[in-house]
Amino acid sequence: MVKIAPSILAADFASLKEEIVSVEEAGADMIHVDVMDGHFVPNITIGPMIVEASRRSTALPLDVHLMIEQPEHYIPAFVQAGAEIVTVHAEACPHLHRTVHLIKEQGAKAGVAINPHTPVDVLRHVLEDIDLVLLMTVNPGFGGQSFIRGVLQKITDVKTMAKEMNENIWIEVDGGVDGETAPMCIQAGANLLVAGSYVFKQEDRGEAFRKLRGDL
């Protein structure tokens, strides 16, 4: 079953609770929270306070995507704020194995994200320690960018790697996912789709989810 995680980066922050409730009622499986620090990526967004406010707005799991340097300094705060899944970037973690285990010690599920140009091989030696791989299908930093098709092969490569290692993991794609690109991602092996602008731009969010899942 393919799951959908709308990214609140594209929501109206003046009505954040209503926005979260609207996607929950329309059938979202989790809420994707994009955390940016102005160093790892050229944008600044959300900190633990907004995660805590989101936690009080929904019963859905919060899927927190840390696009920040030195994430180990902030992981405990994000888990305490209510993150069920914490994903760090391989490019930001020289001691990735240690960082992944810090997430798990704090009581959250651990994910590792890689940028479009980063080879999937960096995942091999942590695959058995993690719950989720996030493949960026845009260069991280902003919502509303165009999907990079070259990443499709990486989705299949991660799926094959996980199968060979007998690891049952979530393969999440993030960036430029819409009614046209979602079926390609699912076909390639993704089972968790992040969508920001595609979902929040549409009045009928239920229809957006059905299109993303390929039910329409």
Catalytic residue set? 34, 174
19 near ligand DX5 (CB under 6 A): no
Nearest to ligand DX5 of 32, 55 (CB atom): 32
Could you give the strand order of the β-sheet that contains 170-174, starting from the edge strand earlier in sequence? 3-6, 192-195, 170-174, 132-136, 109-114, 85-89, 62-67, 31-36
How far is CA 64 from its chain centroid?
Answer: 7
What are the angstrom distances between the C-alpha of 61 and each of 3, 64, 85, 105? 12, 9, 8, 18
- Integer Cα distance of 184 and 35 in angstroms: 26
Shortest-Cβ-distance residue relative to ligand DX5: 196
Q: Site map for ligand DX5, 148-177, x if CB under 6 A?
A: --------------------------xxxx
End-to-end CA distance of the chain: 16
Nearest to ligand DX5 of 189, 196 (CB atom): 196
3-class DSSP state for residue 66?
A: strand
Only one of the segments 4-12, 71-79, 122-130, 184-192 lies at the binding site for ligand DX5 (rule: CB under 6 A); that segment is: 4-12
Smallest gap from residue 128 Cβ to ligand DX5 (A): 25
φ and ψ at 49, to 5 degrees?
Answer: -60, -40
Smallest gap from residue 124 Cβ to ligand DX5 (A): 23
The verdict on whether residue 144 carries a ligand-binding annotation is yes
55 near ligand DX5 (CB under 6 A): no
* Interacting residues with Zn ion (CB under 5 A): 34, 65, 174
